Amino acid sequence: MRHTMKVRRALTAVAITAGLVLTVAGCGGDDKGGGGSDNASQSQKPTKDDGGGKKDEETQEPAADQVLAEVTGGENITLTITSAVRDEGGFLTVGGKVKNGGSGIWVANRWRGDEKELMGNAASMAGANVVDKAGKKRYLILRDTEGRCLCTQFRGGFKSNEEQTFFAQFPAPPNSVAKVDFQVGDMPPATIEISEGE
């Protein structure tokens, strides 16, 4: 009985000693390499300053705000295109912002297009189109059976310096087409590069 107790105590002492050795080794690594919480916070700070960590995330996040093209037309209206994505379903979706840089209220009624089928879209991107200059082909905006465009319909007029987002969807040009001209209303054509979606 005494012999068994001695063996158990010896094993317990060995286990405790081994645990302490591992703990000390772990602490020693922290002192050298900075694995503790204080050192970890300090080691993260340089990555922010060096362009790593959160800055890398910040450079990836504004992908939606990347400017592909920007044009300004009459009445000081600015059209900024931030995305042009061709998906596997055969659609090209263009998105961006419209800003009224003028001093008065501006209404996008003339942007709905001249087609009778689109007249019910009111102030919208219904009159937009994209042109493949190399293939000499124009793609009109998609619409449903009732003539409603697959695009943004603006609510009311744009106040001075007001900005609103938009999207407009078209049949996608062939995969070989990398660039198209986007045009709506009296705005100058905006050349945009197409990216591939999922």
Task: Give 33-68 pLDDT, tens digit per residue.
Answer: 444 444 444 444 444 445 544 444 444 444 447 999
Tens-place pLDDT, residues 171-182? 999 999 999 999
Is-contact 96 80, C-beta < 8 A? yes
Residue 107: what pLDDT? 94
Helices vs strands, H then E, count in the chain: 3, 9
Note the pLDDT of residue 119: 81
Question: So what's the pLDDT on residue 183?
Answer: 96
Examine the domain organization and report whether 10 and 95 are in the same domain: no
For residues 20 and 107, membership in a common domain is answered with no
Q: What is the mean pLDDT of residues 189-196?
A: 96
Q: Which residue segment(s) compose the domain that 6 sits in? A: 2-61
Claim to verify: residue 92 and residue 43 sit in the same structural domain: no
What local confidence, expressed as pLDDT, does residue 147 receive?
87
Same domain, 127 and 145: yes
CB count within 10 Å of CB 148 equals: 16
* pLDDT at 3 exceeding the cut of 50: no
CA 146-149-150 angle, 5° bins: 120
Domain shared by 71 and 23, yes or no? no
Domain match, 78 and 162 both: yes
Task: Write down the pLDDT at residue 27.
Answer: 46
16 CA to centre of own chain: 55
pLDDT of residue 77: 96
Domain co-membership, 19 together with 93: no
How many Å apart are CA 86 and CA 95, to the nearest integer? 12
Question: CA 9: distance to chain centroid?
Answer: 64
CATH, residue 140: 2.60.40
Residue 70 has pLDDT above 90, yes or no: yes
Average pLDDT value over all residues in the chain: 78
Residue 12 in tokens:
């317990």
Question: If pLDDT is split at 50, 70 and 90, which confidence band does 11 have?
Answer: very low
Report the pLDDT averaged over residues 57-86: 82
Q: Given pLDDT bands bounded at 50, 70 and 90, which one contains residue 8?
A: very low
Task: Evaluate whether 178 touches 118 at the Cβ level (below 8 Å).
Answer: no
SS3 call for 153: strand
187 and 150 both lie in a single domain: yes
Q: What is the pLDDT of residues 105-151, one digit of tens each?
A: 999 988 998 888 888 888 999 999 999 999 999 999 999 988 899 99
Hunting for tokens 């596997």 — which residue is that? 88
Query: Total domain count for the chain?
Result: 2
CA distance 161 to 103: 8
Name, in order, each residue with C-beta under 8 angstroms of 108's C-beta and a sequence gap of 6 or more: 98, 123, 124, 125, 154, 158, 185
